[in-house]
Structure 1
Amino acid sequence: MWLLTIAAVLAVCKVLAFLGMLEVAWLVALSWWWVIGAFVLTAAWFAYADHSGLSSRKAMEQLAQRKQDRLEAQRDLLRNRTRRKR
């Protein structure tokens, strides 16, 4: 996601430099191919992450961790409740 953000910021800055609203020497001299390349690199990364299952695997791991945390919290509450009644 950070790569997409960098590509979008670079594209906006390049457009502003092209319109003359932003005058940064290296940005004005920067080729449009670098801007397009950043978007291509981002698209390639997202394609790889989706194809390899990396994104869905991380989401499943996060869900499993949240479920485990929730179960532990409920078990702790049950342990405390049973100790108080005795």
Structure 2
Amino acid sequence: MLLIIPLLLLLVLKLAEVSVFATMSWWWIIGGAIFAFFWFEFFERMLGLDKRKDDVHFEKMKAERLKRTFDKKVGRR
């Protein structure tokens, strides 16, 4: 998201022709979009960042499920 939001902001400012951005080259926006594409398609996978986020999410879900299960069993005794 840190790549997409500034890229969209640049695009909006370029299309609205706001001061300095009106004269800015389209290559900045196109280059940023190409970089974001390669980042999300290749580099993030190579670095394992996509799986790391999933693993953290599933570990939290597992811990919450175990806690609920053991709390219920303790409450029955």
Report TM bin, short chain: 0.7 to 0.9
Q: TM-score, normalised by structure 1?
A: 0.71
CA distance in 2, matches of 1:25, 1:54: 37
Q: Which residue of 1 aligns with 2:39?
A: 45
Q: Which residue of 2 aligns with 1:31?
A: 25
Q: Which amino acid aligns with 1:15?
A: L
Structure with more contact order per residue of length (Cα contacts < 8 Å, sep ≥ 6): 1
- CA offset digits 1:42-81 (Å, max 9, x no partner): 1232120022322022202211221111111221122122
Deviation at 1:6?
2.1
Q: How many residues align?
A: 76
Deviation at 1:29?
1.8
Identity of aligned residues (%): 30
**Cα contact 2:15–2:22 (8 A) shared by 1:** no
- In structure 2, the residue corresponding to 1:2 is in which secondary structure? coil
Q: Which amino acid aligns with 1:43?
A: F
Q: Which runs of 5+ in 2 are unaligned?
A: none
Greater than 3 Å deviation, 4+ residue runs: none
Q: Which residue of 2 aligns with 1:21?
A: none
